[in-house]
Structure 1
């Protein structure tokens, strides 16, 4: 199949962006389509191009868009001026980078570290199969945000279950790539920690760092960047004009003339190039004077650039005179080094040549850490708009500001050295505090604007984020700015959550809690942080933050709020036990519940929270008396939905823990009481939590249909609640998101358990499309894959399976029990297609993610039996389901019990088991009300009685239940003309012919 004939224009756009290593979320934002749509296109491309994963797809993109290149184009900043000289430095640094995995180019500001690093990186681009990436750390003021900056440069999102550093390491684990981390000096400690973790996890990644100081780590190799060479031999062969990117051969053509002029001095060559570019060629008689100026500037690249920019207006004599003024030189202090003095001299000189208004503008815009607009500058500097526009233009003309042009307007940026110089001048002028305060207020206004739901929201946030972070870093250390710092920290927490930077969101909520002056606000921030931790699958953090909220509330005398927080800490430990590294001990939970009950008094909302915790404790105790997970995981009371098998419904027992026992009935009563109280308080999130526990208790009691109805009720309650995933300032925030994600997964599972395949696929699609799961598609698509497989939609299952596996690999191939059913489903689909190689591949993945009894005795037995019956091996299916349903109830309750019972009955009939009739009778009673399982049992009964008419009738029942595969299987089993129709139906589904026993 030719690519041109198979790939649609939209797929071609997606493919190109995959080749640029953008994440699905980034591609969606770029093309203004949903993440789900991007995932569908990616899956289609994987299938059409017959490649196994996203990395191979990126290589296909490279071959399509850059057919003459075997490597992606380096993601380096565009150079606006030619690179001059430094041949020996380039060679030395390149050699060092080949020999060592982390090299730091060190030197003072203005020496040319960045330009040299970029040149070396461009030279080395062909050596790195997965690209060269540039990360500007100038805007990063928080050492903990380095990983976020790297992820943004790479187009990566945060993976749930990982912090951002872990997400980056996972994405680069098998990549052969070069990272250039520019300007690390203000975050040296953070950079060292990040790189140690990255390099340990990514053996083929190399890192080139530029910094004013070394990182001081054992694996670092340091290259001191010298000043530009100053010798003036006038030998044509002694100078080099360097590479110029697109200048290419043109640079070499100019070598002969300008190399002679430069006389072997890179410093002089740089001055000549920049001076000539402003329109005044130099006379040969002036070369010695240029050399003297460069020597006065100690060969510092930045100083020479600034001096050359003045040549057109001052001439060499004017430049020399300005540099000779003693007040232009810095003496003493921390800047006593010669190189620092020379740069400060050049900056002083350039600054003093400015008009007073331009000086004020330059120093005040130094508070911006990212490119800014003229309007932003006017607001922060408090200068009139006309003055700002004219002044920015003049500063840009003098090379004091860089200019970039974008569709949304012109932006300006000061180099880091000039920013630091401007900050010094602000301090000298006594304007630092006032200017930073105005910048803080400007950032607060920007954060408020970001609430607006616009198509370009993500891009707008990304442009503003570093500015907001820098303002917050300053404000949190100022006592007088504490109120505004709290407001900005809270805004950043909410915005970061919407942007799916959930690790940062938790950090900002905790920061806001520490800054809050009102205990009620502090407690609320801790609660939001706990909800974010739950979204991250970090149960221990969730528990710690629940307790922190309780401590604040209790200390302020808010006893009811403290009661709710303490009860939530206990009930969450039951509901989400698999999220905990260190499970909560029973005595700790008992103490929390006792204190919560004492503090609750007569308040309905607090009593509801306590009732929920008591329900969780009762059910967990009932189950734990008879069963402990073989995997060693603690037992939870909810259904476990989207994380792991932490539901009480996955366990079985007898005595106090058996279905219908007083303990289970007590748990149901407590959960119902919690639901009622939460409903009276009109608290949808508390009601959702109570419904979750109630569904688990009902399922354990053996009432699958009541459990499914409760799960549906929970989703229907939450779908009307703004969950914070699309609207940053939702009143329910992360807690709403967490509850909805869990509820959608629970509803999907419950629907599968009672044979409601259309409902299961509906909820599973809602889960797959949830924006908070955009970067963790394996969690989002797992149950959709199971539902598609059980419905017999092979084509959709294959597409979903590609999305699932690609996302799983990008997340670092985690081994979590909840990923077992989707893996088993894919192994089954490939078995039904008679693709044995693919089946073995998925079976190996299944063994990796879930070697537990849920696989051996639960869903694994169901999927294996499905395939064995298709292959005409009923005896094998009967052996696979040999244990009585009561023996494996602990592994089949909630989803798989009806499927297990029905398939076991069919296998008994087809294998000619002597007790087949008795099994059918028991199965008919066990699955009553489940349309799919009932049809399976009735089909088996018709086969046993050789009643073709009844057999054919079950095909209609399967069609009505949304189970096309079983309908086609029924026709095949009927034989005759029906068998031919069944065979065609199986072919239409993309499945191999069925073997009739």
Structure 2
């Protein structure tokens, strides 16, 4: 039965862009709408099309949507296979198709093996298309031709799947997370150039994805134990003219306007036999029929250049393809031969203007030559940003490169290509509306040029410049994993150790954006060593102190946090090198303040929970670090110092002081340059600013900071991290619609990330789960409990946000005694978890639960709570309401409704109206229903 789904025109536009693998931020920019609006459309599409995640939406994007906005669905749908559309028909190979299909049905990984030009790719694509209905979660195609190194295989697969890099994990892990439970077929084409990288990638992928099958094409075996080989044979040959090879030749000749008389089939069969049944050679030969005829083709194939210079110079596996290409090459004018080999260096589609620069000839002459090459099937015409582009098939591109070497032109042409790449990289430094498309169009060429130049001493300076440019460009493109690697490569290529130190610091900052604390630590240490080699003792001191600071500032990003003794040694060494340098002294002071805080915290913990006697000295050190950093006029140094000072004030119980410090830090970074280090500091500051506002009950400000964090383009592909604090703020405010919409994005990207969690993500999950509990949606509650069942969240959830959200839910259900039991520990006993964001909420709700549970010490606890939460509008209103309930003062209870409304806390406002009773309770019930929540259980009396 066919159902109809009503998709709006705007949703259809969003769906199309999802199919192009654009992020929400990029879709918003393309359609001139906010990211929040895009998120709403994505949530609606997930619901309407009844698909589980964004990747499934991308598959649905390939289906046509009618003019009336409807799309047909059936009860048993399969994602449309993500395969290149063939430009010509597939001819013959019935038995090969059947055999290869049987092999992928019974084997986890099959390699279609054969020489270049035999037809491996077309066979694999046809078999994959035939098998598409077998794989419930789709068929995906990845072309590995542009991949320049084994380490980039995962990036190519992730790009094909529409996956972005996520902080805290590499791209292989992202791919594994996306395909872990998928019944899908992955086609990896042209594996031979990176077979070691493919082998390592597949070993991890197949071990973690039990329902995934992989079909690879390669000229060489991958040499892994689980590989099953299918040797792709040449097209079948037959003297009677009835064969696949003859059928292919006949069809391609007819396509170029030269239909063959059946009586000529034997002559065609002879030509195909001379071509060894190689599909590419046959297609090229058929394309020449209009100009040479069969007699001319036969004569051309007798030419001695069928082999480059004889059998001893060519590998057997290249023999037939080389013959076809040599024959085609001999038919070209000398100028066209030169142009073909010159443009063979382009990895990606290129324009006539680009070809002119690399070939070093006049643009008009090049344009005519490219047209002639395209007419002779040696180049493919393809659209590119801003006009017409050309692309050489990989085998032809390799052939042209060999011709360059034989002509003695390879080094000179590569040098021109390198200069062209450097110029394109410089052009891309100016970001514009079409920047992404312009970068993507040349990125593979930049990478290829860098790979060549990096190994040549005479081009080391240019390679360094290109690596540095590519590092910056990939960071802007949000390819942060590659950006870190390019900064490290630029450091290795730098002639000046001071330059290397700069590149390593940038690499460390990018690692921070990726949540890679161990890399940050290593790279800052290498930067310090490079500064020391450059004779920059102050820079070395800054680097060593930063290494120590990284260990405590970003400890949650580490797999293995370095031991305290190591950090102490680094600080001692940095102190000895600092001299009179203001920057070095500020960095050392910051490291000392962080160490003092860490020591004081550990002392307090080992002593049973108090904050210890070290508090005054810790505060003094933090204040000094801020003052020294301010004198450097470096906003990033001052931001780091303010971060530590805020942590000290928070640990001291100075909630409002900590919040003021963090607001100051966020404001300082508002005008900071968009660099890796600046971006890393800004993302961290936005998160802390949102948490600080939550901690002091400023919900509108919390939403403002959290919205800025959610909209940051670097987090576009990691919705769970981007939206976590916004979900917390909306849950506390009672913004139910926003929670439900944001929760869809959170859960989708969290699961795609491999279901990894941190305490801050746990708070978001607990908030969404609470909202579902307030709605009496038990099934949704159980789904979100999965997020909370992570080891990292257990202690935090036990006493911090978990107690707060559980208490709100229990009080909603009228279970005050259970709420009081949930928050039985005194705040001073669990201060490690509830100091900062959750302290005031915990204290206020604990006081309310005490009153509603009829506890005899309610008055005393209320008095203590009022002192703690003073200045927090939401927590103060909760305590005020509890006290009014204790005194049975309905007028004061009613007054808190306005206080909550002013503070942006609609749920608590409705609760106050209901607890007031009478006609106010009816109004509160309506407001609660408008929020989408279930009725409150009013306590007796």
TM-score normalised over the length of structure 1: 0.90
**Does residue 534 of structure 2 align to residue 583 of structure 1?**
no
Where in structure 2 are the equivalents of 1:639-788 lying within 5 Å? 653-654=609-610, 657-658=611-612, 661=613, 663-723=614-674, 733-788=675-730
Q: Distance in 2 between the 1:372 and 1:188 partners? A: 27
1:787 Cα deviation after fit: 0.5
Q: Distance in 1 between the 2:26 and 2:145 partners? A: 23
**Does residue 843 of structure 2 align to residue 901 of structure 1?**
yes
Q: Distance in 2 between the 1:29 and 1:436 partners? A: 37
Query: CA separation of 1:66/1:50 partners in 2, compared to 1, >3 Å: closer, same or farther?
Result: closer
1:26 Cα deviation after fit: 6.3
Task: Give the match for residue 39 of structure 2.
Answer: 39
Note the alpha carbon deviations across 1:404-442, whole angstroms, 9 max, x for none.
Answer: 235732221111111111111101111101111111111
Note the aligned Cα RMSD (angstroms): 2.2
Q: Distance in 1 between the 2:58 and 2:496 partners? A: 51
SS at match of 1:978: helix
Task: Give the match for residue 486 of structure 1.
Answer: 464
State how many pairs are aligned.
931
Moved more, 704-713 or 968-977: 968-977
**Among residues 136, 152, 158, which one is paired with 1:151 in the alignment?**
158
Q: Distance in 2 between the 1:7 and 1:970 partners? A: 41
**Among residues 571, 576, 580, which one is paired with 1:602 in the alignment?**
580
Moved more, 815-824 or 436-445: 815-824
Moved more, 494-503 or 64-73: 64-73
Task: Give the match for residue 496 of structure 1.
Answer: 474
Residues 162 and 536, structure 1, Cα contact 8 Å, conserved in 2: yes
Q: Distance in 1 between the 2:641 and 2:661 partners? A: 10
Note the alpha carbon deviations across 1:880-927, whole angstroms, 9 max, x for none.
Answer: 111112111121001111111111111111121111111111111111
Residues 25 and 711, structure 2, Cα contact 8 Å, conserved in 1: no
1:3 Cα deviation after fit: 9.6
Residues 298 and 339, structure 1, Cα contact 8 Å, conserved in 2: no
Residues 23 and 156, structure 1, Cα contact 8 Å, conserved in 2: no
Q: Distance in 1 between the 2:171 and 2:587 partners? A: 33
Query: CA separation of 1:363/1:16 partners in 2, compared to 1, >3 Å: closer, same or farther?
Result: closer
Q: Distance in 2 between the 1:279 and 1:52 partners? A: 49
Query: CA separation of 1:25/1:335 partners in 2, compared to 1, >3 Å: closer, same or farther?
Result: farther
Where in structure 2 are the equivalents of 1:451-600 lying within 5 Å? 451-600=429-578
Residues 4 and 73, structure 2, Cα contact 8 Å, conserved in 1: no
Residues 873 and 903, structure 2, Cα contact 8 Å, conserved in 1: yes
SS at match of 2:886: helix
SS at match of 2:155: helix
Query: CA separation of 1:985/1:147 partners in 2, compared to 1, >3 Å: closer, same or farther?
Result: same
Task: Give the match for residue 212 of structure 1.
Answer: 219
1:100 Cα deviation after fit: 0.8
Residues 191 and 217, structure 2, Cα contact 8 Å, conserved in 1: yes
Note the alpha carbon deviations across 1:486-505, whole angstroms, 9 max, x for none.
Answer: 11111111111122211111
* Structure 2: gaps of 5 or more residues: 65-69
Task: Give the match for residue 828 of structure 2.
Answer: 886
Query: CA separation of 1:679/1:388 partners in 2, compared to 1, >3 Å: closer, same or farther?
Result: same
**Does residue 867 of structure 2 align to residue 860 of structure 1?**
no
1:340 Cα deviation after fit: 2.2
**Does residue 238 of structure 2 align to residue 231 of structure 1?**
yes
SS at match of 1:500: coil
1:837 Cα deviation after fit: 2.4
Note the alpha carbon deviations across 1:658-715, whole angstroms, 9 max, x for none.
Answer: 3xx3x22222222222222222211011111111000000011111100000010010
**Among residues 347, 353, 365, which one is paired with 2:331 in the alignment?**
353
SS at match of 1:625: helix
Note the alpha carbon deviations across 1:455-474, whole angstroms, 9 max, x for none.
Answer: 23222222221111111111
Q: Distance in 2 between the 1:142 and 1:24 partners? A: 30
**Does residue 18 of structure 2 align to residue 76 of structure 1?**
no
Q: Distance in 2 between the 1:457 and 1:992 partners? A: 49
* Structure 1: gaps of 5 or more residues: 234-262, 629-650, 724-732
Q: Distance in 1 between the 2:842 and 2:737 partners? A: 25
1:326 Cα deviation after fit: 2.4
Query: CA separation of 1:333/1:555 partners in 2, compared to 1, >3 Å: closer, same or farther?
Result: farther
Note the alpha carbon deviations across 1:113-160, whole angstroms, 9 max, x for none.
Answer: 111111111211221222222211111121111111112222221122
Q: Distance in 2 between the 1:708 and 1:844 partners? A: 32
SS at match of 2:186: strand
**Does residue 174 of structure 2 align to residue 167 of structure 1?**
yes
Where in structure 2 are the equivalents of 1:62-461 lying within 5 Å? 65=71, 67=73, 70-233=77-240, 263-330=241-308, 336-405=314-383, 408-461=386-439
1:309 Cα deviation after fit: 1.8
Note the alpha carbon deviations across 1:49-94, whole angstroms, 9 max, x for none.
Answer: 6766446766876696454682233222222222221111111111
Query: CA separation of 1:180/1:24 partners in 2, compared to 1, >3 Å: closer, same or farther?
Result: farther
Q: Distance in 2 between the 1:53 and 1:139 partners? A: 28
SS at match of 1:138: coil
Query: CA separation of 1:840/1:149 partners in 2, compared to 1, >3 Å: closer, same or farther?
Result: closer
Residues 819 and 850, structure 1, Cα contact 8 Å, conserved in 2: no
Query: CA separation of 1:40/1:219 partners in 2, compared to 1, >3 Å: closer, same or farther?
Result: same
Moved more, 867-876 or 545-554: 867-876
